[in-house]
Structure 1
């Protein structure tokens, strides 16, 4: 029997949420067969089986959050017989093959899941970053010392040592869970992280532990508010020249692309540590997409090269992928500026949050009707409220204002790009 633990998925992140199991106890699997789909703070990842064999046990349920190194599966490995050898040779070669197989299996996990992802430059600005994983590892190390010893509180278990993963002890401390009251689901009653999460969910009815994109959003928003010097400019685009069947999303994406080319300072990344700014020539627009699982920001790369129909096709396919929780990490990386069309739901003006290292985000509010004076006469028009937040450390007020002016100019055209 072999235990398969959650490998480093090449993201520098310490935890993942189980989205879907593709196997059950008793199933026979082959090497590289997809056994589970996980969601990290950055993407959805399919995890393959490192061995061929029979599934003896699964650890964790769909929706559970687990840490790197936690046991995912127990597999009874399938072995093959070798003929034309003496009994002694078989024993010797069996030992060698077992050792080699373990080495190969380890390489399989790394090669199929981790090594490939390490070839991609991981952006640090998408929700969550590597520092959180390093912090988690360091605090877990400290918890070995804190977690050792005997528990107090429950008379029935006060004289017995609680068997728990160090990460589970730390998690219990953070969530205010008495670990001596938790029943472990691991081998010999070992308390796993998932047991602590389950206990937290039961502790206060109506509460929930944030997972997946919602959990990652907490870190991203906190980082932005702590590090970005945010300033918001508001303006309105009058849409009296628009056709009745205009696609608002397409017009917004085209306008952001146009304004980013006219005022390039807003289509940039900023690094406060090195005091450097990277002004991009390519416009990669992150499109904020709301879903029941949380906020996702897929990226339309080289947005200026797309025509209207291509943009609509991309939007439809991407939104469908998000709703089905089938979106790759590469689809969420390298945005140079972000667009949030919150007005599709509600709201007129807002203060959108910049996601570092980007320096700007465009927010579009609900289209409203208003009366303006035109040639001395009151005229009813449709207006789109715009809210543009920028990092004042990297952009001047003049650069931001010129960007907004270009944005409005494009939106007020009768037609967008063909």
Structure 2
């Protein structure tokens, strides 16, 4: 029987949320068959089976947050008739190897314990239980060992990942009250999250897109020298059935061509700016799972009907949680049409390395003077935040002027 743990899904993403299991215990799977779908901070990813065989155990529930290296399934690998007939010896199961390693590590630690004069060292056992991602926590795997603690005057051995111990300490969770779901009852991060949800009714751990948004906003707040400029576009020339989002995308493309300084990336470490010739617009999409910002690449090559088709397909993919990592990458400027829900003006948050984000508010009616006569018109409020380290106020104002001119045409 072989154990399969969560692999590294790329881009330094240590955590994933289980979105959906596609197999149950007892199911027979083939190599590369999709067994579950997870959501990282970037996108949803389908995880294939690394072996063919029967699912003997399944670890983690939908909604659980798991780390790289956490046990997912144990598979009783199929042995072909040819292999069985030839008498070829099969490699030892991973579980046996883990047991040997654990025993060896325990003996080494036990030897060190006898040489130690501190009482706490004598009460501690040492067992390495697996690889631990160091992306989220500054923990040396060579220092990971399982200790024993006393609770209610009874000695109780707790086996837990170091990241789970750190998390439990932050959340105020007593590990003695948790039943681990990992191999041999090891307490995982997801077990601590579940205990926290039960301990504090009405609270929940941020997951998926919401977790990613929290990290991105914190990063932006720390790094961006943000300035917001506002303006209004008078929509007297618009038809009654104008597609607002499509017009906004086209207007941003035109403004980027007129003033390209806002269509750029900025690297504060090297103090370099990359001004892009192509326009890749990230379009903020609100969903029940959180905020997603898929990117319409080469938006300057899209016609109006192409933009609308892209929006419809992308929104449908987000609702079905079927959006790939590549669809969220390489944006050069962002659009948020918050006015579709509510709001007139805002201070949108720039997402580094980008240097600008355009926000559109709710269309309002205004009275304006035309040839000395009052006239009611529709006005579209616009808010743009830019990184003042990479853009001058003049460049931002010229961009906004070009944006308004295009919308009013």
State TM-score, norm by structure 2.
Answer: 0.87
Instruction: Give, in whole Å, the separation in 1 of the partners of 2:393 and 2:37.
Output: 45
Shift of 1:213: 0.5
Per-residue CA deviations over 1:333-387 (Å, capped at 9, x if unaligned) read 0000000000000000000000000000000000000111111111111000000
| Equivalent residue in structure 1 for 2:198, among 202, 205, 213 | 202
Matches within 5 A, 1:136-175: 136-139=136-139, 141=141, 144=144, 148-152=146-150, 154-155=151-152, 158-175=154-171
SS of aligned partner of 1:295: strand
Matches within 5 A, 1:19-418: 19-82=19-82, 90-91=86-87, 93-95=88-90, 135-139=135-139, 141=141, 144=144, 148-152=146-150, 154-155=151-152, 158-413=154-409
Instruction: Give, in whole Å, the separation in 2 of the partners of 1:176 and 1:97.
Output: 41
SS of aligned partner of 1:139: coil
Q: Would you say the 8 A contact 2:348–2:358 is kept in 1?
A: yes
Per-residue CA deviations over 1:284-305 (Å, capped at 9, x if unaligned) read 0000000000000000000011
**Per the alignment, do residues 143 and 84 of structure 1 end up closer, same or farther by CA in structure 2, a change over 3 Å counting?**
closer
SS of aligned partner of 2:253: helix
State TM-score, norm by structure 1.
Answer: 0.85
Tell me what 1:130 maps to.
none
**Per the alignment, do residues 386 and 27 of structure 1 end up closer, same or farther by CA in structure 2, a change over 3 Å counting?**
same
Q: Would you say the 8 A contact 1:2–1:77 is kept in 2?
A: yes
SS of aligned partner of 1:160: strand
Q: Where in structure 1 do 4 or more consecutive aligned residues deviate above 6 Å?
A: 96-99
Per-residue CA deviations over 1:191-216 (Å, capped at 9, x if unaligned) read 12211110010111000000001001
Instruction: Give, in whole Å, the separation in 1 of the partners of 2:362 and 2:142.
Output: 50
- Alignment gaps of 5+ in structure 2: 98-132
Per-residue CA deviations over 1:236-271 (Å, capped at 9, x if unaligned) read 000011000000010000001110111000000000
Q: Would you say the 8 A contact 1:140–1:170 is kept in 2?
A: no
Instruction: Give, in whole Å, the separation in 1 of the partners of 2:202 and 2:142.
Output: 32
Instruction: Give, in whole Å, the separation in 1 of the partners of 2:408 and 2:149.
Output: 68
Instruction: Give, in whole Å, the separation in 2 of the partners of 1:55 and 1:96.
Output: 19
SS of aligned partner of 1:277: strand
Q: Would you say the 8 A contact 2:357–2:384 is kept in 1?
A: yes
Instruction: Give, in whole Å, the separation in 1 of the partners of 2:162 and 2:93.
Output: 30
**Per the alignment, do residues 363 and 29 of structure 1 end up closer, same or farther by CA in structure 2, a change over 3 Å counting?**
same
Shift of 1:190: 2.1
- What CA RMSD, in Å, does the superposition of the two structures yield over aligned residues? 2.0
SS of aligned partner of 1:314: helix
